[in-house]
């Protein structure tokens, strides 16, 4: 057991932890998006789905586990970034004609900053929706929390919509490189497979970002017409 802890305390182990927790968070985002898209089916469907989650006795342990995964990802990512900067305070100069196509991009060079912004965004999001105003409604004869109304009210404000849209674009930027980077840390394989994972990561990031992006805009447009 001690050897396992010592491995995860090492630089290589820290990268593995960042990769594993990052992929777990991607999976959660996909599931979270699938649930959130039910808002397009109307208040009863959305509120009924939300109540199933809220009333599940496993919701608290799952939330604690998710928080632990998120915190490990953030702490280890900062640790890896600081370690990389100490090991290489000056970036390597790229020689003309050396190597293949570079994987360096705006997404890859801004990972720590987009990650920290996403951290702040998640905190605000949880505060606004999980601990925000409580409205009740009746679905199938049961009194449940009216999260549909809360969402419509939150996204009736254009500045809030703009903030969410900008934050979601940063989430997509973070995912577009983070997905590929996670598999690289876990030993993705040859260059061909690496390119396939890079394309898959960009596709996943685009789907997640687009899905979360359209919800506040749709809610704002729907509210402005009513």
List, for residues 169-183, the tens digit of each pLDDT value: 999 999 988 899 999
The answer to whether residue 123 is domain-embedded is: yes
From 3-7, 37-41, 120-124, 198-202, the region with the lowest mean pLDDT: 3-7
98: in domain = no
Q: How far is CA 128 from CA 121, 125, 131, in A?
A: 10, 5, 6
Of 130 and 95, more confident:
130
Q: What is the pLDDT of residues 10-68, one digit of tens each?
A: 778 889 999 999 999 999 999 999 999 999 999 999 999 999 999 999 999 999 999 99
In a domain, 117, yes or no: yes
Residue 3: alpha-carbon gap to chain centroid: 31
Looking at the predicted structure, is the pLDDT value of residue 111 above 70? Answer: yes
Stretch 72-88: mean pLDDT, rounded?
A: 83
Average pLDDT over the chain reads 86
Return the pLDDT at 81.
84
Q: Confirm whether 62 is domain-assigned.
A: yes
| Domain carrying residue 80 | 2-84+106-225
pLDDT tier at 97 (50, 70, 90 boundaries)?
A: very low
Tell me, what's the pLDDT at 90? 56
Task: Let me know if residue 90 belongs to a domain.
Answer: no
Residues 201-204: contacts with CB within 8 Å, 24+ apart? 201/175, 201/176, 201/177, 202/176, 204/26, 204/30, 204/175, 204/179
Write phi, then psi, for 136 (nearest 5 degrees).
-105, 150
Position 106 confidence tier, pLDDT thresholds 50, 70, 90: low
Share of the chain above pLDDT 70, in %: 85
Number of domains in the chain: 1
Residue 91 lies in a domain: no
201: domain CATH number is: 1.20.1300.10
Residue 191 lies in a domain: yes
* Structure tokens, 184: 């690289």
In tens, the pLDDT along 163-215 reads 999 999 999 999 988 899 999 888 876 788 888 999 999 999 999 999 999 99
In a domain, 93, yes or no: no
Residue 223 in this model has a pLDDT that exceeds 80: yes
């Amino acid at each position: 057991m001690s050897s396992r802890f010592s491995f995860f305390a090492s630089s290589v182990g820290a990268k593995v932890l960042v990769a594993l927790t990052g992929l777990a968070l991607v999976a959660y985002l996909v599931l979270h998006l699938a649930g959130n898209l039910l808002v397009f089916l109307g208040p009863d469907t959305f509120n009924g789905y939300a109540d199933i989650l809220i009333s599940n006795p496993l919701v608290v342990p799952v939330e604690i586990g998710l928080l632990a995964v998120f915190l490990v990802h953030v702490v280890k990512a900062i640790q890896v970034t600081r370690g990389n900067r100490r090991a290489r305070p000056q970036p390597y100069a790229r020689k003309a004609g050396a190597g293949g196509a570079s994987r360096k991009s705006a997404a890859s060079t801004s990972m720590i900053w987009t990650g920290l912004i996403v951290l702040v965004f998640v905190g605000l999001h949880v505060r606004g929706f999980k601990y925000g105003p409580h409205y009740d409604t009746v679905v199938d004869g049961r009194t449940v929390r009216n999260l549909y109304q809360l969402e419509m009210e939150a996204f009736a404000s254009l500045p809030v919509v703009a903030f969410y849209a900008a934050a979601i674009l940063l989430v997509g930027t973070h995912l577009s490189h983070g997905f590929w980077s996670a598999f690289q840390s876990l030993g993705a394989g040859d260059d061909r497979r690496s390119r396939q994972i890079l394309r898959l990561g960009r596709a996943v990031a685009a789907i997640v970002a687009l899905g979360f992006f359209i919800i506040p805009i749709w809610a704002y447009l729907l509210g402005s017409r009513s």
